[in-house]
């Protein structure tokens, strides 16, 4: 199997730089006329799969909205991952895990080992126990051809207090994480397996410290588009020369078009076209 960076690059080139989240909020289940239970969760996920699998570069299930339904919800998540991967669609599992030692290794086994029923093409991970704490996840990803997206500068407003802080090196925490990613990706072509999560919402703040992404050699997952307020036109000022590596992430703005499959596809097509025009 090709490594994740190469597979993602090919998918973005073929289908556009769009990642759609499967985020089954209780309010969305209600809006779709579905019960807030495992049966409703399954119907929601299967509808999203029918509409979007094979149509976008990647799909990003948010694990928490499955986990809240207990073991039955996790079973739906397993099925969702399996169906998407069987369709040839890249799965970025949004779990934001982060821990140390054997616990980090266990997370890696759960989500990145091909033998696991929850194995995804990539996961999101939190480096705030130290970037080195992610090494078991990164090593497993590199060995299995999977990927890891590391939180660097996130779209939530609370993130800035930590991520914009300046360390003894004179770099922000976010830039330090990006520089660590660059070291892991050295030598990979066209993109490395380790990417950064950088929120599309940060572009409207003139006080935001600029990020140097030029040497990262990895993909950038940009959440915050749509319902959180960011638009594709904001991306150029944030990412500059790194724009070709940006994967724009939408969830609610597309999902609220459901439950009709044609409407979901049309919303995804509009978002993909808008991203192509701006990236």
Q: Which of 82, 96, 252, 276 is catalytic?
A: 96
Told to judge if 2 belongs to the known catalytic residues of this protein, a careful annotator would answer: no
Residue position matching structure tokens 């929120």: 199
CA separation, residue 98 to residues 64, 71, 84, 106, 167 (Å): 15, 22, 25, 11, 21
Between CA 135 and CA 108 the distance in angstroms is: 10
Three-class SS state of 189: coil
Between CA 74 and CA 68 the distance in angstroms is: 9
Q: 10 Å Cβ neighbour count for 216?
A: 26
Three-class SS state of 169: coil
Between CA 157 and CA 246 the distance in angstroms is: 21
Give the burial class of 126: count Cβ atoms within 10 A of its Cβ; 0-12 exposed, 13-18 middle, 19 or more buried.
middle
Spatial CA neighbour of 4 closest among 184, 260, 266, 273 = 184
Spatial CA neighbour of 122 closest among 92, 143, 152 = 92
Cite the active site residues: 96
């Amino acid at each position: 199997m090709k490594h994740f960076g190469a597979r993602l690059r090919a998918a973005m080139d073929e289908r556009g730089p769009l990642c759609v989240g499967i985020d089954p909020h209780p309010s969305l289940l209600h809006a779709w006329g579905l019960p807030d239970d495992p049966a409703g969760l399954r119907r929601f996920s299967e509808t999203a799969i029918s509409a979007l699998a094979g149509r976008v570069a990647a799909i990003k299930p948010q694990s928490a909205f499955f986990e809240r339904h207990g073991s039955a919800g996790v079973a739906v998540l397993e099925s969702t991952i399996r169906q998407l991967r069987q369709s040839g669609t890249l799965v970025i599992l949004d779990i934001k895990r982060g821990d140390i030692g054997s616990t980090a290794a266990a997370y890696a086994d759960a989500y990145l080992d091909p033998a696991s029923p929850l194995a995804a093409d990539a996961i999101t991970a939190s480096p705030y126990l130290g970037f080195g704490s992610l090494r078991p996840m990164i090593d497993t990803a590199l060995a299995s051809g999977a990927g890891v997206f590391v939180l660097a500068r996130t779209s939530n407003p609370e993130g800035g207090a930590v991520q914009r802080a300046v360390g003894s090196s004179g770099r922000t925490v976010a830039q330090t994480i990006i520089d660590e990613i660059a070291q892991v990706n050295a030598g990979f072509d066209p993109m490395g397996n380790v990417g950064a999560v950088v929120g599309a919402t940060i572009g409207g703040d003139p006080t935001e410290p600029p990020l140097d992404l030029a040497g990262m050699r990895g993909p950038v997952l940009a959440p915050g588009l749509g319902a959180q307020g960011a638009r594709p036109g904001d991306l150029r000022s944030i990412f500059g020369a790194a724009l070709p590596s940006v994967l724009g992430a939408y969830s609610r703005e597309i999902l609220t078009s459901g439950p009709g499959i044609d409407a979901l596809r049309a919303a995804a097509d509009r978002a993909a076209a808008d991203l192509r025009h701006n990236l």
